[in-house]
């Protein structure tokens, strides 16, 4: 892996090749997550194909696990659906953050792009310093469809081998490490460090809220704090 | 059939949440202050996301010394090298080594 491969501004390769390399780097820690999802489907008692259908229909790992788990535990359809939507509500933040990058893009891309918008793709594109619209579109699509293909494949594979992975390997720890690394890349001013730390502390304080909804409150308050700090700077 | 319909509805509403601002704000100019505030979304959301991954449903931290050491190493390596891949490998190495020593 070439140094700087996850920071799109630092490498002069084409957007498609670069996107695929970055995607592979970011997907490696997500492999255990995909396999665990397969295990969750098996344990939920849902038919395997029906559980796996959440991958193409929802394409949102945490929301998929929430929905399938709750359906397997006998929750009502409305309750399970509501919980899954709350878990996925952070995508609203992603949508408003990336909206300026979609301005001036073709209409088909504005309608197709959101389907591919997952945590990893947001993290890759929000830290992108290359402002060229054509580069952004090619990179976004190449990375998005790479993630999509890998997620479909590995969640299907997880139906068969997910139950066989020893928990003692601790592979799930790679996911918070990955996002902490992306967080470290995204903070280039002390105000952003303050916002990130405050959001983490509020999330911890609200960790027992239903369906992990404290995360949304923390993110909202963190952004509000950013607004105040920005006004203070001016 | 009902479950499949529920999955499809959740998928559609999830898509709407991702698309709402991207599609609706396509023709609107963003004020400079709004663009600067949007810069804080990534640290706020990713900070909240990381902490969510580190806490259990009961609100307690589910990490020990190996995890804390791994996270510190990851942050330090990424800040220094600007490379998430190297940070990830370093953190997992520290996590596994300390985990095996402590246990």
Q: Verify that A124 and A228 share a domain, yes or no.
A: no
Residue A79, chain B, CB below 8 Å: the answer is no
ipTM: 0.82
Write the pLDDT tens digit of every residue in A51-99: 999 999 999 988 898 888 888 877 788 888 887 887 788 899 899 999 9
Q: Domain limits at A21?
A: 11-170
H/E element, B85: helix B84-102
Q: Verify that A128 and A203 share a domain, yes or no.
A: no
Q: Verify that A36 and A61 share a domain, yes or no.
A: yes
Q: Find tokens 């804390």 and name the residue.
A: B68
Q: Verify that A198 and A113 share a domain, yes or no.
A: no
Chain-chain contact of A179 with B49 (C-beta, under 8 angstroms): yes
If you average pLDDT over every residue of chain A, what do you get? 85
Chain-chain contact of B40 with A192 (C-beta, under 8 angstroms): yes
**Domain end: A139, A170, A201, which one?**
A170
Residue A72, chain B, CB below 8 Å: the answer is no
B71 CB neighbours in chain A (<8 A) are: 176-177, 180
DSSP string, B14-63: HHHHHHHHHHHTTTPPPPHHHHHHHTTHHHHHHHHHHHHHHB-TTS-B--
Write the pLDDT tens digit of every residue in B29-62: 777 777 777 788 888 888 888 888 888 767 788 8
Write the pLDDT tens digit of every residue in A9-35: 444 568 999 999 999 988 887 787 788
Q: Verify that A40 and A147 share a domain, yes or no.
A: yes
A25 CB neighbours in chain B (<8 A) are: 84-85, 88
**Domain end: A170, A201, A220, which one?**
A170
Q: Verify that A154 and A108 share a domain, yes or no.
A: yes
Write the pLDDT tens digit of every residue in A109-149: 999 999 999 988 998 998 787 779 999 999 999 999 999 99
Residue A180 in any domain: the answer is no
Alpha helices in chain A (DSSP H): 15-27, 30-44, 48-52, 54-58, 61-72, 77-87, 91-102, 107-112, 119-126, 133-161, 174-186, 190-205, 214-233
- Who wins on pLDDT, B9 or A207? B9
Residue A175 in any domain: the answer is no
A203 CB neighbours in chain B (<8 A) are: 47-48, 51-52, 55
Report which of A193, A192, A200, A194 is spatially closest to residue A217, judged by C-alpha positions.
A200
> Which of B18, B70, B75 is facing A94, going by the closest CB pair?
B18
Write the pLDDT tens digit of every residue in A55-67: 999 999 888 988 8
Residue A98 in any domain: the answer is yes
Residue A195 in any domain: the answer is yes
Total of domains in chain A:
2
Q: Verify that A200 and A150 share a domain, yes or no.
A: no
CB burial class (10 A; 0-12, 13-18, 19+) of residue A117? Answer: buried
Residue A179 in any domain: the answer is no
């Amino acid at each position: 892996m070439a140094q700087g491969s996850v920071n799109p501004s630092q490498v002069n390769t084409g957007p498609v090749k670069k996107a695929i390399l970055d995607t592979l780097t970011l997907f490696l820690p997500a492999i255990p997550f995909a396999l665990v999802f397969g295990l969750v489907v098996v344990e939920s008692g849902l038919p395997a194909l029906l559980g796996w259908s959440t991958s193409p229909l929802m394409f949102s790992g945490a929301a998929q696990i929430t929905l399938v788990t709750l359906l397997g535990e006998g929750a009502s359809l409305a309750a399970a659906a509501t919980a899954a939507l709350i878990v996925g509500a952070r995508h609203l933040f992603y949508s408003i953050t990336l909206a300026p990058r979609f301005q001036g893009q073709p209409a088909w891309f504005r309608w197709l792009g959101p389907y591919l918008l997952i945590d990893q793709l947001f993290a890759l594109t929000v830290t992108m310093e290359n402002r060229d619209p054509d580069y952004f579109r090619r990179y976004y699509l190449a990375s998005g469809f790479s993630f999509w293909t890998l997620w479909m494949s590995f969640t299907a594979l997880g139906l068969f081998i997910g139950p066989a992975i020893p928990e003692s390997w601790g592979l799930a720890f790679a996911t918070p490490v990955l996002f902490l690394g992306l967080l470290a890349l995204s903070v280039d001013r002390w105000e952003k460090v303050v916002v990130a730390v405050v959001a983490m502390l509020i999330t911890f304080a609200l960790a027992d809220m239903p369906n992990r909804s404290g995360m949304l409150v923390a993110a909202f308050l963190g952004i509000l704090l950013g607004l105040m700090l920005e006004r203070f700077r001016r | 059939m009902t479950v499949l319909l529920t999955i499809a509805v959740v998928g559609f509403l999830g898509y709407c949440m991702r698309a709402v601002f991207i599609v609706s704000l396509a023709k609107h100019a963003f004020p400079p202050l709004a663009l600067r505030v949007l810069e804080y979304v990534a640290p706020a959301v990713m900070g909240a996301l990381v902490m969510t991954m580190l806490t259990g449903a009961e609100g307690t931290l589910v990490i020990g010394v190996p995890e804390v050491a791994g996270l510190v190493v990851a942050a330090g390596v990424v800040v220094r090298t600007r490379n998430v891949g190297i940070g990830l490998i370093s953190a997992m190495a520290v996590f596994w080594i300390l985990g095996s020593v402590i246990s």
